[in-house]
Amino acid sequence: MLKICIMNDKMEIDSCPPSARTKPEKWKKIFFPLITLGIYILIFIVLILIWAAYKSNELYNHIKHEKIAERSKTYLKDPGLYFSSVLLSLDESCDDYYVKANRAGSSGPLVLALGDSFTVGVGCKLSETYPYKVAERLNGGFINAGACGAGLSQMLIFGRRLIPKYRPRYVLAQYSPWLTTRAGELFSPSKMMDPSGQAGYILIPPSPPTPFLTESPDGSISLHPAVYRSKFLDIPEKYRKTPPGLIDRISFILSAGVPAYADDLFEKTLYKIKGKLGLTPMPSQNQEKIIKYVFNELNDICKKNGSTLVIVAMDGFQNYILAELSYSKTRALKSIDGAIFVDAMTPLFEKLDTKTYDAYSRKYHFWKGTPPACVDKHPNPEAQKMTAEEILKAIKNAK
């Protein structure tokens, strides 16, 4: 077969130079791999979008559930804390992401409470929570700055904000082992609430980034902001109020859900890459240092503002039995100058006829149905009441 090559406007037969003969082959070697790579990337992006749309649809169903929608009337978000929460007390005024209530006729001291869902009082009425009961007995007002899913990092942020602003007489600061663990985590624990459960709070973003405590090379502890800002905080509030429907669902998925899920995936992947390269700080895992740093700073803020720090040690049965309410950690808390330490766990334990988990759960958790079943493991009204009594005893003895 004759090969014809045209060069310099002349036609030559069987005389094409190698460079001319290989140009098409080189072009193919570059072009086809790029096309293949582009197809793979396109497929990957489509799969991500399908996944994000599926998750967004789940989120839409969750938000529109009638029980969830009712509880979301006080949906709150805070870019400083980097997650959103809904507080219980729908019958009280909410200001700056916490519950503030000046009880009618109260003239006594103001009480500020810091903690997680144990302090919020998930499953309880507002009047059944220990911060309310302490304020009631002192004939004072109260601010419940507990936040579901919070750790010591959020408690410190709230303390820095609220103690100088309101100058409360008493600051009730919850101590539980998991609060310390959360302060050393990059992402906050979160779930979509089961509408049939007892929990009184609503969705926070799926594993949202959270402020954390980091340790420098010289061993000092400091508070570090979240590694990125979650776009779940920017989901328009209107979708919590609009009537459900096909158009509303599509609008939510395309304009709110998919962008938020896709951005969250991108930011988490980027963070992991930076972490591998050592470009981002890592959380401290030294729990004793974290405890000392947070509670000593809270105590210093209290002293500067005429407040008294009351450290409320709360725990679960299993942790208590296994001595997770570590004596080395609580010893450090008890030694903080001017602070009041309250062991709110031992009195609950001592009230049990039999020292078993089942006995503890039946007495201090939420049970419903026939036959009765445990539906929520947060402290029930009786546990909240006993916690308040221990706090009041400690305050009285400290005078």
Q: Is residue 161 part of a domain?
A: yes
Q: Is residue 246 part of a domain?
A: no
Number of domains in the chain: 1
Q: Give, for 387, the enclosing helix (H) or strand (E).
A: helix 381-398
* pTM passes above 0.85: no
| Confidence band, pLDDT 50/70/90 cuts, at residue 297 | very high
For the ranges 25-34, 297-306, 364-373, the maximum mean pLDDT occurs at: 297-306
Share of the chain above pLDDT 90, in %: 33
User: What mean pLDDT, rounded, does the chain reach?
Assistant: 79
Inter-residue contact 120 to 150 (CB < 8 Å): no
- Show the domain range for 152: 65-126+138-227+280-339
Q: What's the CA gap between 379 and 173, in Å, rounded?
A: 16
CB atoms within 10 A of CB 169: 16
CA geometry: angle at 371 spanning 368 and 377, to 5°? 35
Share of the chain above pLDDT 70, in %: 74
Q: Is residue 292 part of a domain?
A: yes
Nearest to 112 by CA among 176, 172, 179: 172
Q: What is the model's pLDDT at position 18?
A: 55
Span 116-142, average pLDDT: 89
Give the residue ranges of DSSP H helices in 65-124: 66-71, 117-120
Q: Is residue 145 part of a domain?
A: yes
Q: Is residue 364 part of a domain?
A: no
Q: Is residue 71 part of a domain?
A: yes
Q: What is the model's pLDDT at position 100?
A: 53
Q: Is residue 185 part of a domain?
A: yes
Three-class secondary structure of residue 228 per DSSP:
coil
Token pair, residue 93, equals 């005024």
Sheet of strand 308-313, all strands in order from the earlier edge strand to the far edge: 94-95, 98-101, 142-144, 111-114, 170-175, 308-313, 340-343
Predicted confidence (pLDDT) at residue 323 exceeds the cutoff of 60:
no
Q: Is residue 100 part of a domain?
A: yes
CATH of the domain at 116: 3.40.50
Nearest to 117 by CA among 85, 81, 90: 85
Span 144-148, average pLDDT: 84
| Confidence band, pLDDT 50/70/90 cuts, at residue 209 | confident
